[in-house]
Structure 1
Amino acid sequence: MNSKLNWINPVLEKEFRLRMRSIRSPLSIFVYLVAIGLFALGFAYINTGNQPGGALSTTKSSELFYFLSCAQLVLIAFMTPGLTAGVVSGEREKQTLNMLLTTQQSSATIILSKLLSSLSFMLLTVVASMPLYSIVFLYGGVSPWQLLYVFIFYVFVMFLLGAVGIFFSTLLKKTVVSIIATYGFVLFIFGFTALAGIFFGKISSSTRNEEILGYFLSFNPMAVLLSIMMPDFTKQLFRGHTWLQMWHFFLGGYTILSVVLLWLSIRYLRPRMKQKKLNN
């Protein structure tokens, strides 16, 4: 009798085994923790130099939390496309995709298993960084609920970038092109949304500058992260004109986009026979 859990299908099991048995996985986690740890310790060292007893004040502890969270979001945006943008195109380049498609696994199972295995590794990496936040809790200024909301936001950003990476990996035949396209999307949501908000805010009436900027920044991951950590940031932009928070727009819009991209990935994974017109 098979003792394996039903939800662990062969594709997901294969991905877990290949990813976790390689030396690259623990090495990637180690490099990630070293990078984020150096950020945290460097910030703490700079800001404790003039403090009595070498302790961080509550204000500086909150700033460390903001700095650490933003740095981690940047690392997530940098690492996630590299984990997902080649999962399907890589199979195609190794000429193993056709073999995978001949199995009994459906297209949805293959796509979702590839996505879950990639995101589970990224989630493991982020969870491994949680002890670094003990520095913040040691000096106060941040509630556990804030940390929980930030990590939930991280998971959603991983899901979004993972869906985008899977889509380009399915649609494009070359892994390099897929990775470039995924990083282009990352650059778009981090950079273009902010620049577009500033531009359209400048050409609009002066009373709506900040409100228009707020709507554009509602689709910017870094701005939404700041609004989660600092709720007054949203009130300052919208000036009480709406009861909605920035993360409401972010979750709503990008949830729809992620679901559509996953549906398209499932639809176009298998080659479709072109219907030929019959001549009477």
Structure 2
Amino acid sequence: MKMNPVYKRETTVSARSFRLALILMLFNGVLALVVMLNMYSVLERVKLTAEIQYSSFTNLYVFVAVVEFVMLMFIMPALTSGSISGERERQTLDLLLTTVMKPWEIIWGKLTSSFATMFLLILSSFPLLAVSFVYGGVMYYDVFLLLLCYLAVALLCGSMGICFSSLFKRSTIATVVSYGVLIIIAAGTYAVNVFALSIARMNMTNTYALSASGMADQANTGGFLYLLLINPVATFYVMISRQTGDNNQVLKSLTNVFGPHPESFVLDNWVVLSILIQLLLAAVFLFAAIKAISPGKGIRKIK
């Protein structure tokens, strides 16, 4: 099978650099230190109280998962937002377009090379996640779902960065816009739901003349809740809440924040549907990036 030349070149340069080895050592070193301190605190507690709190190991799993998720969400745009605009700044993009490679192959090679670097960091930390398997509480299905969530957020953030890198001529502008859109998706959808919930509570309180702790507690955000399906933070929160709680934790986690909502197919399958929607949104960003660098028929580049 023919390997993508862009992917081959980018991964070769990254694998030969000392920076990648240093990042791997520092990242896993910090996580290993946290794991060892957690284990030490559990052992000391056993010596003092003769009781083992198994929830500490579940908390360790949550901590490592959260660190990796945050790393994926905030580093992937930085890795990809300068991929195409950087080639344009070095005046090598036109040379790439004159080769037999198609625009989608260039985009895909840039994206997969950045994703491979991040996936190496995630995969190298899985032995630390496996510590919680010794004491139970986390199933293999949970790890598989966690990997799917990582895949969705990495592709979404990476495709977002490479899309704006194709649209803008400057890497700095592409990076700023990528993080701006990411903040809108993550914090903006949450803010819309918070605002909708406050309006619903205010209207219900005025209607029934009850205190905020009465009928107003039954208010919810309504259809605005489904905006969170494109929010990777909300998806990760729901997934972790379910893995560390009971099977109905998805509905409970959303109800505690955004008011009670009736059960539905979307809420019952929130994580899977949200991952599919995020992958679809990533495909839209990639399509826009391909169109932007296609000679003669691309989207007009922004200075």
TM-score, normalising length: structure 1? 0.85
- Give the superposition deviation at 1:115: 0.8
Instruction: Quote the Cα distance in structure 2 between the aligned partners of 1:107 and 1:188.
Output: 28
8 A Cα contact 2:160 2:285, kept in partner = yes
2:130 to 129, 134, 137: 134
1:272 to 296, 300, 303: 296
Which deviates more, 56-65 or 211-220? 211-220
The aligned residue for residue 260 of structure 1 is: 284
The aligned residue for residue 155 of structure 1 is: 151
2:8 to 10, 13, 16: 13
Instruction: Quote the Cα distance in structure 1 between the aligned partners of 2:17 and 2:29.
Output: 19
Instruction: Quote the Cα distance in structure 1 between the aligned partners of 2:289 and 2:125.
Output: 31
- Matched position secondary structure for 1:185: helix
- Matched position secondary structure for 1:230: helix
- Matched position secondary structure for 1:27: helix
Cα 1:108–1:56 shift into 2, 3 Å: farther
Cα 1:139–1:248 shift into 2, 3 Å: closer
The aligned residue for residue 234 of structure 1 is: 250
Instruction: Quote the Cα distance in structure 1 between the aligned partners of 2:38 and 2:225.
Output: 29
Which deviates more, 11-20 or 207-216? 207-216
TM-score, normalising length: structure 2? 0.79
Consecutive unaligned residues in structure 1, runs of 5 or more: 275-280
Residues 138-193 of structure 1: per-residue CA shift (max 9 Å, x gap): 22221121112111210111111111011011111111111112222232233222
2:101 to 96, 100, 105: 105
8 A Cα contact 2:31 2:64, kept in partner = yes
The answer to whether residue 88 in structure 2 is matched with residue 92 in structure 1 is yes
Partner amino acid, structure 2, of 1:27: L
The aligned residue for residue 265 of structure 2 is: 243
- Matched position secondary structure for 1:218: helix
Identity rate of aligned residues, in percent?
A: 27
2:165 to 157, 161, 169: 169
8 A Cα contact 1:197 1:213, kept in partner = yes
- Give the superposition deviation at 1:135: 2.1
Counterpart mapping for 1:113-128 below 5 A: 113-128=109-124
8 A Cα contact 2:228 2:234, kept in partner = yes
8 A Cα contact 1:164 1:261, kept in partner = yes
Equivalenced residues, count = 269
Instruction: Quote the Cα distance in structure 1 between the aligned partners of 2:93 and 2:30.
Output: 35
Cα 1:39–1:160 shift into 2, 3 Å: farther
8 A Cα contact 1:198 1:213, kept in partner = no
The alignment's C-alpha RMSD in Å is: 2.5
Instruction: Quote the Cα distance in structure 2 between the aligned partners of 1:210 and 1:51.
Output: 45
The aligned residue for residue 28 of structure 1 is: 23
Cα 1:125–1:241 shift into 2, 3 Å: same
Consecutive unaligned residues in structure 2, runs of 5 or more: 205-215, 243-247, 299-303
Instruction: Quote the Cα distance in structure 1 between the aligned partners of 2:137 and 2:224.
Output: 29
